[in-house]
Amino acid sequence: MATGSYLPAHVVPNEALTQFPPAARQLIAEKTGIAARRQAADDECTSDLGAKAARVCLERAGVTPDAVDVLILATSSPDRIQPATATRVQELIGATRAYAFDIGSVCSGAVFALNLADAIIRSGGARRVLVVASELYSRSLLNPRDFATRACLADGAGAVLLASGDGDSGIVGTKLHTDGSGADLIQVPAGGTMLPYERMERKQDAFVLMRGKDVEDFVTTRAKAVVEELLSSVNVDCNDVAFVVPHQANLSVLQGLAAGLGIDFSKFIVTLDRYGNTAGASALIAFDELQASGRARPGDLVVMVVFGGGLSWAATLIRL
């Protein structure tokens, strides 16, 4: 298993969000833990970010792009409604033998994609599957005046290469969940068949809308439960977990999750202070940081837990 990530060069600190009053800007770090976020350049789109993360991953693995059998892209901010953004990532990196497709499970997309990649390999359908999660929210999905989203959501991409024949390392188990009754809690109302742009009456319907308190209540209960469900299913104790790689949503939420699970917060990999909430890409970016940090050792058990729109939530256990 190899990893890679890409963060745009442009850093946007809280102080740069001058559309909000000084008191509000000060609250960003206090309420979310975010001090800065990354913003893509004008000539970068979602597939560009994903391709850059993918190239890093493949280079570290010592694998050429034409050796990839399947390319799965998790994104909630595609280049276009169609075709699949994964097809442009395939073209950019030269993965000429792979078939490529998108998964749209918002902030949970990376774990959904990893589960599918693992299943494809175990079924004998492929030897190497490249999972990429790429998000570019700053270009068109964020209302610059919406404090709840503009202050938090950001741009970035992560990648993981799964391969057969890795022995005991890889994905040990996964649990996936959705609850469509909460589909409206995090959404972009316009742009699809339900509300085409030409019928849109409010400009803000083209942007991400989030009912923050309801979402936080959902995360507080479901994230802890899915980790416990996962560890129970594979007979692993919380004390045996070396690291937790969570979706990078909110620092207090992550601290509460650690306390609820009885796992020391020092085991949580946190990047949101520097990168913000990169939606579906956040867990893979954090996983790559763990791999590059030198803290992890072969055989370590890592829990990746994600939650987001859909509503969706998931956890996977990885043996390094």
CB of 90 within 8 A of CB of 72?
no
- Containing H/E element for 287? helix 282-293
Range 66-103 burial, b when 16+ CB lie within 10 A, else e: ebbbbbbbbbbbbbeeeebbbbbbbebbebeebebbbb
Q: Measured between alpha carbons, how far is 79 from 48 in angstroms, rounded to an integer?
A: 9
pLDDT at 220: 82
Cis peptide before 83 (omega within 30 of 0): yes
Three-state DSSP at 186 gives: strand
Backbone angles phi, psi at 265, to 5 degrees: -65, -20
pLDDT at 285: 98
Catalytic positions, please?
A: 107, 247, 277
pLDDT at 211: 82
Question: Positive or negative CA dihedral for 34, 40, 46, 48?
Answer: negative
pLDDT at 109: 96
User: 109-122 and 282-293 are packed helices; what angle lies between their axes, rounded to 10 degrees?
Assistant: 70
State how far Cα 149 lies from the chain centre.
16
pLDDT at 221: 87
- Per-residue model confidence as pLDDT tens for the chain (320 residues): 999 999 999 999 999 999 999 999 999 999 899 999 999 999 999 999 999 999 999 999 999 999 999 999 999 999 999 999 999 999 999 999 999 999 999 999 999 999 999 999 999 999 999 999 999 999 889 999 999 899 999 999 999 999 998 678 899 999 999 999 999 999 999 999 999 999 999 998 999 998 877 788 888 889 999 999 999 999 999 999 999 999 999 999 999 999 999 999 999 999 999 999 999 999 999 999 999 999 999 999 999 999 999 999 999 999 99
Neighbours of 59 (CB within 10 A): 12
301: Cα within 13 Å, side-chain hemisphere: 16
pTM above 0.85, yes or no: yes
**AA identity, residue 127:** R
pLDDT at 213: 73
- Phi/psi class of residue 23: alpha, beta or left (left: φ > 0; alpha: ψ in -120 to 50)? alpha
Q: Measured between alpha carbons, how far is 174 from 158 in angstroms, rounded to an integer?
A: 19
How is residue 102 written in tokens?
């998108």
**Any idea what the Cα angle at residue 251 is, between residues 24 and 15, rounded to 5°?**
30
pLDDT at 261: 95
Would you list the DSSP string of 50-110? HHHHHHHHHHHHT--GGG--EEEEE-SS-SSSSS-HHHHHHHHHT-TT-EEEEE--GGGHH
Domains in the chain, CATH or no CATH each: 2-166 (3.40.47.10), 171-319 (3.40.47.10)
